[in-house]
Amino acid sequence: MSRFLHTRYAGLETYTPGEQPRDKQYIKLNTNESPYPPSPEVLAALGPGEVADLRLYSDPEGAGLREKLAGLYGVTPGQVFLSNGSDDILNFAFMAFGEKGAVFPSLTYSFYPVFANLHQVPYETVPLREDFSVDVAGLSGKGKLTVLANPNAPTGLALPLDQVEALVASNPGHVVVVDEAYVDFGAASAAALLGRYENLLVVMTYSKSRSMAGARLGFALGSRELIADLERLKYATNPYNVNRLTLRLGEAAVDSDPYFRANARRIMATRDKTARALREMGFRLPDSQANFLFVTHPRIDGARLYQKCRERGILIRHFSDPAIAQYNRVTIGAEEEMETFLTMVRDILREEGL
Ligand SMILES: *Cc1c(COP(=O)(O)O)cnc(C)c1O
């Protein structure tokens, strides 16, 4: 740290991204990326003409993409906000709507407390239930910005739509953000509630089900007024925060939506098969509706399993938080990758004499 840094940021805790090592080729099951490439339409969307056009700024309104997303989700373009990944939107949401504080579950996406601290938003957390499900009653009616990841990370558990609606309805004076990064893997989207609740902001991303984590594209759906608030902050920060190439790719992805839905189904089938195999080996795991599994084994230490997998060339995500140190989060890769993973885990268990 230099002596020039604003004292406000001296103690700032930052988010720790999953490792992206370069020392050798790993099977990467640690950052919830898609094992499949984007659709053929996306692959073909950029040519020398689009690259040459990089001399021009991108459209700060992203009008073409907003129109396509509005069509896909049954809203108006004025109800769509675009940004540089959904983390960028969550950042704006804490900045915009956190005046009276924030509340979120105790075990959820670890970026929420980072954003809260960055914007000096005091926050409280509500413990999950014993079975890792979100305590909707405990989270309800708090009179603050409320943030729910649905499905939740890193558990993978999803709330049914009526419970999400109860949460949104319980907090009419404040914004309820529903972070749907994983919604395409089987959960019901709160986008269906948008017509009825002006305090609902649904945040989605191209990073997971749309295989475009590297493009950095996220979007939010909400009332026109909420979207205008986010625009205000975007235009006070960086109006061009979605680049030309990404806008173009984002449109092509909407045009090939069925391709991505089919991929998500493929990943869901692999997930359910992997879950069954792990349970047969003695692992315990919640019923995931996301593209990852949150697994623990009563007889092998979580950090040890992580380390053994790493030595053998497979990366999974281990969290140092003592509350979940016995768990690992395993991204669902391609069918063959998961077969390799399962074989490896069987070998490790055998080696441990289990
Ligand atoms: C991956 C993830 C995001 C962030 O996605 P980007 O769009 O890549 O910034 C947001 N929320 C949750 C819960 C995630 O897992």
Q: And the tokens for 205?
A: 């991303």
What mean pLDDT is reported for the chain? 97
Per residue in 102-129, pLDDT (tens digit) is 999 999 999 999 999 999 999 999 999 9
Whole-number Å distance, alpha carbon 3 to ligand 1 midpoint, is 33
Backbone φ, ψ for residue 199 (5° rounding): -100, 5
Rounded Cα gap, residues 338 and 8, in angstroms: 45
Rounded Cα gap, residues 319 and 110, in angstroms: 10
Rounded Cα gap, residues 23 and 280, in angstroms: 33
pLDDT band of residue 237 (cuts 50, 70, 90) is: very high
pLDDT at 36 exceeding the cut of 90: yes
Per residue in 250-283, pLDDT (tens digit) is 999 999 999 999 999 999 999 999 999 999 999 9
Whole-number Å distance, alpha carbon 181 to ligand 1 midpoint, is 6
pLDDT of residue 212: 98
What residues contact residue 343 under an 8 Å CB cut-off, 6+ apart? none
Provide the H-helix boundaries in 146-192. Answer: 161-169
pLDDT band of residue 299 (cuts 50, 70, 90) is: very high
pLDDT at 156 exceeding the cut of 90: yes
Whole-number Å distance, alpha carbon 87 to ligand 1 midpoint, is 6
| 59, amino acid identity | D
Task: Tell me the CATH architecture of domain 40-255.
Answer: 3-Layer(aba) Sandwich (3.40)
Lowest mean pLDDT among 18-32, 44-58, 168-182, 307-321: 18-32
Write down the residue that tokens 């795991």 correspond to.
285
pLDDT of residue 17: 85
Whole-number Å distance, alpha carbon 351 to ligand 1 midpoint, is 36
pLDDT band of residue 228 (cuts 50, 70, 90) is: very high
pLDDT at 159 exceeding the cut of 90: yes
Whole-number Å distance, alpha carbon 85 to ligand 1 midpoint, is 7
Region 20-38 average pLDDT: 92
pLDDT at 23 exceeding the cut of 90: no
Can you spell out the DSSP letters for 9-74? GTT-----PPP---SS--EEESS---SSPPPHHHHTS--HHHHHGGGSPP-TT-HHHHHHHHHHHT
Which of 15, 109, 178, 242 most suits a substitution to test ligand 1, by most atoms within 8 Å of the C-beta?
109
Q: And the tokens for 304?
A: 């040890």
Residues with CB under 6 A from ligand 1: 32, 85-87, 109, 149, 153, 179, 181, 205, 207, 213, 218
pLDDT of residue 16: 86
Q: Which atom of ligand 1 is nearest to the CA of 205?
A: 7
Region 203-232 average pLDDT: 98
Rounded Cα gap, residues 183 and 347, in angstroms: 33
Contact by Cβ (8 Å): 268, 185 = yes
Contact by Cβ (8 Å): 179, 147 = yes
* pTM of the predicted model over 0.95: yes
Contact by Cβ (8 Å): 215, 208 = no
pLDDT at 343 exceeding the cut of 90: yes
Q: Which atom of ligand 1 is nearest to the CA of 213?
A: 8
Rounded Cα gap, residues 149 and 159, in angstroms: 9
Region 322-331 average pLDDT: 96
Whole-number Å distance, alpha carbon 230 to ligand 1 midpoint, is 18
Contact by Cβ (8 Å): 178, 258 = no
Per-domain residue ranges of the chain: 18-37+258-351, 40-255
Contact by Cβ (8 Å): 163, 131 = no
Q: Which atom of ligand 1 is nearest to the CA of 108?
A: 13
Which of 208, 288, 319 most suits a substitution to test ligand 1, by most atoms within 8 Å of the C-beta?
208
Per residue in 189-203, pLDDT (tens digit) is 999 999 999 999 999
Write down the residue that tokens 């490439």 correspond to.
37
Whole-number Å distance, alpha carbon 86 to ligand 1 midpoint, is 6
pLDDT at 22 exceeding the cut of 90: no
Domain 18-37+258-351 -> CATH class: alpha beta
**% of the chain with per-residue pLDDT over 70:** 100
Per residue in 71-107, pLDDT (tens digit) is 999 999 999 999 999 999 999 999 999 999 999 999 9
> b vs e for 138-158, b when ≥16 Cβ sit within 10 Å of the residue's Cβ?
ebbbbebbbbbbbbbbbbbbb
